Amino acid sequence: MTLTADNITTLLADQDLLVSAPEFDGEIQHLAYNSNDVVPGTLLFIKGNFKAAYLTDAIEKGVTAIVAPANFKHDTNLPTWVADDVPAAMSIIAMAYYQYPQNSLALIGITGTKGKTSTAYMAYEILRAYTHDKVALSSTLQVITDNNPESHYRAHLTTPESVDLFRWMREAVDNGMTHMVMEVSSQAFKMRRVYGLHFNVGIFLNISPDHIGENEHPTFEDYIQHKMMLFDHSEQVVLNVDTDHFGELIEHAELTVPRDGIWLYGQEDADSPKADVYFEATDANLHGSVFKVREVGQQAEHLHINGEYTLDMPGDFNQSNALAAMIATRLVNADAPAMAEGLETVKVPGRMQVLNTKEHGTIYVDYAHNYASIAALLQFVRQNESVNQLTIVVGAPGNKGVSRRPGIGKAVSEGADVVYLTSDDPQYEDPAKIADEIQTAITNPKVTIYRELDRTKAIASAIQAAGSDDVVVLAAKGLDEYQKIDGVDTPYENDWAVANRIVSELEF
């Protein structure tokens, strides 16, 4: 794949992103936004905290040209496109370089403060059943461009940088994929990772304060505005009537999407706003649930998804997510039998994984990482387990999501008996200070607080102290096999592996 200089100039000019173009008649044979990824023939995008020293490295590796903001200073004769918005330019150029792979995919985008990953895997499994394994996935946990293991990649961002995203989309199309499910974060819109990308269906699960801080969204209003950009870039939208701020959300959706393209869903409840499709739990246990789906009105009856479904995940929040996935996949042609098959078999790596022990109670491993998700998880455990003592091991990331730290403390106050405050991707921050911020918000005097910043030791202590009628929740890290420390992905055993190892050492 190649792009000419004229191609690039035209692409940027058409989007009103071009400030100036170089006199250059060569071809671009590779795209990169990191000097480590440069090879001869590369167009390098200068974005973020790109230091001039990185360009020296790129020149040594054979960079051909750059796209840079007006304020980037360099003493080279490299052909340079100056762009008003480099991340937006990168997305526009990347989709063209990879020959617009999105046009060959039925594309579902999912946003929400909690539940994106679970919903993505539900939609993915439904579409796997419907298409016979011709569906790609881009999630917080992994990117899948084919059913073969070599086409499964570890994710580093909820939504990849545009160059990576369109490269994976092209790979998926070349592998014969016809559908794609992807998580779309508010940061993806704010940082222009999906600039110019349109979705066949957009799912909006819920909204609550999160990702508010110096390096993310300055205010909740900024957060919700970027979340709602999914409406602006979707042909049809699926919206939860039970979410906070529903009035603001539906008002925005109706400005950009025709009413017959808006699909409302919610829990069967007389107090809920009117929905097109409702769900109601009919049976539940610690490992799964059964729920009924009811369509209301002429528009909803075209879905043909009425009936009872078995979900291999517990909790009414997961039934809600399942209904969102059902509606969205139906809008890209999946049928009810595929939904039944997908939901009955869906597994989300690191989500609601349960380890039953002989002497140390029940251990839950989950990616819950903010107030909404941790509070829901602890409430679920209280409702479904006979708990003598509920312990949680939790921390918070450094240099992002600062606003979620008090929320984590609040959730602990409301739902736990014991907490071990520990490390969770501290990056460049002191994990002890992060723990301080969480601890300040733990106002319930009945909660026993321990601090152990070595995460493995914290998990070991929590499990060792648990009795046969206790529950230990390991929150936020799931199956992550690294800790982000000082900018380095430092190997970490992962919560599930640590728990299994500790239990085997204690009980055998």
- How would DSSP label each residue in 58-76? HHHTT--EEEE-TT----S
Q: What is the mean pLDDT of residues 363-380?
A: 89
Determine the pLDDT at residue 315. 74
In whole angstroms, what is the distance from residue 495 CA to residue 298 CA? Answer: 47
Give, rounded to a whole angstrom, the gap between the first and last alpha carbons of the chain.
57
- Where residue 389 falls among pLDDT bands split at 50, 70, 90? very high
CB neighbour class for 281 (10 Å; exposed up to 12, middle 13-18, buried from 19): middle
Whole-number pLDDT of residue 481: 87
* Token output for 508: 């055998």
Q: Where are the domains of the chain?
A: 3-97, 101-264+312-345, 353-507
Helices 116-131, 316-331: inter-axial angle, 10-degree rounding = 40
Considering only the top CATH level, what class is 3-97? Answer: alpha beta
pTM: 0.84
pLDDT in tens, 59-111: 999 999 999 999 888 888 899 999 999 999 999 999 999 999 999 999 999 99
- Average pLDDT score over residue span 136-163: 93
Please determine, for residue 458, whether its predicted confidence score (pLDDT) is greater than 90.
yes
Query: Model confidence at 273, in pLDDT bands (50, 70, 90)?
Result: low
At residue 270, the pLDDT reads 60
Binding-site residue set for ATP: 112-118
**Per-residue pLDDT tens digits for 290-316:** 999 999 988 899 999 999 999 988 777
Instruction: Mark the binding-site residues, compressed into ranges.
Output: 35, 112-118, 158-159, 185, 193
Average pLDDT over residues 139-150: 92
Q: For residue 433, count CB atoms less than 10 angstroms from its CB and return exposed for 0-12, middle for 13-18, buried for 19 or more.
A: exposed
Q: How confident is the model at residue 213 (pLDDT cuts 50, 70, 90)?
A: low
Would you state the pLDDT for residue 125?
97
Q: What is residue 380's predicted lDDT score, i.e. its pLDDT? A: 85
Chain mean position to CA 142: 10
Give the HSE-up count for residue 259: Cα atoms under 13 Å, Cβ half-sphere.
Answer: 4
* Mean pLDDT in residue range 7-31: 96
Is pLDDT at 285 greater than 80 in this prediction?
no
Q: Is the pLDDT of residue 128 over 90?
A: yes
User: Does 271 score more than 70 pLDDT?
Assistant: no
**Tens digits of residue pLDDT in 310-340:** 998 877 789 999 999 999 999 999 999 999 9
Q: Mean of the per-residue pLDDT values for the chain? A: 93
Query: For residue 13, what is the DSSP state?
Result: H
Secondary-structure breakdown of the chain: helix, strand, coil percentages, each rounded to the nearest 5: 40, 25, 40
Cα 202 from Cα 259, distance rounded (Å): 14
Per-residue pLDDT tens digits for 466-493: 999 999 999 999 888 889 999 898 999 9
CATH 3.40.1190.10 is the classification of domain 101-264+312-345: yes
Residue 316 main-chain phi, psi, to 5 deg: -70, -25
Q: Would you say residue 214 has pLDDT above 70?
A: no
Unique residue bearing structure tokens 């940088």: 161
Rounded CA-CA distance 473/466 in Å is 11
Q: What is the mean pLDDT of residues 237-241?
A: 97
Please name the residues in contact with 78: beta carbons below 8 A apart, sequence gap of 6 or more.
59, 63, 64, 65, 66
Pairing of strands 199-204, 234-240: parallel
Q: Give residue 500's pLDDT band: very low, low, confident or very high (50, 70, 90).
A: very high
Q: Of the ranges 203-212, 352-361, 450-459, which one carries the lowest mean pLDDT score?
A: 203-212
Q: pLDDT over 90 for what percent of the chain? A: 78
The answer to which of 124-133, 179-188, 371-380, 497-506 has the lowest mean pLDDT is: 371-380
Pick among 3.40.190.10, 3.90.1150.10, 3.90.190.20, 1.10.10.10: CATH of 353-507: 3.90.190.20
Beta-carbon contacts of 389 under 8 Å, excluding residues fewer than 6 positions away, are 417, 418, 466, 467, 469, 470, 471
pLDDT value of residue 347: 87
Ramachandran assignment for 368, one of left (phi > 0), alpha (psi -120 to 50 degrees), beta (any other): beta
Give yes or no for a contact between 75 and 97, defined as CB atoms under 8 angstroms apart: no
* Least reliable range by pLDDT among 206-220, 227-241, 387-401, 447-461: 206-220
Q: Which two tokens stand for residue 267?
A: 């829990």
Q: How many CA atoms lie within 13 A of 261 on its CB side?
A: 17
What is the Cα–Cα distance from 288 to 172, expressed in whole angstroms?
31
Predicted confidence (pLDDT) at residue 216 exceeds the cutoff of 80 = no
User: How much is the pLDDT for 479?
Assistant: 87
pLDDT at 286: 64
User: How large is the angle between the packed helices 404-415 and 371-384, nearest 10 degrees?
Assistant: 10
pLDDT > 70 in the chain, percent:
97
What is residue 108's predicted lDDT score, i.e. its pLDDT?
Answer: 98
The answer to whether residue 240 scores a pLDDT higher than 80 is: yes
The pLDDT score that the predictor gives to residue 205 is 97
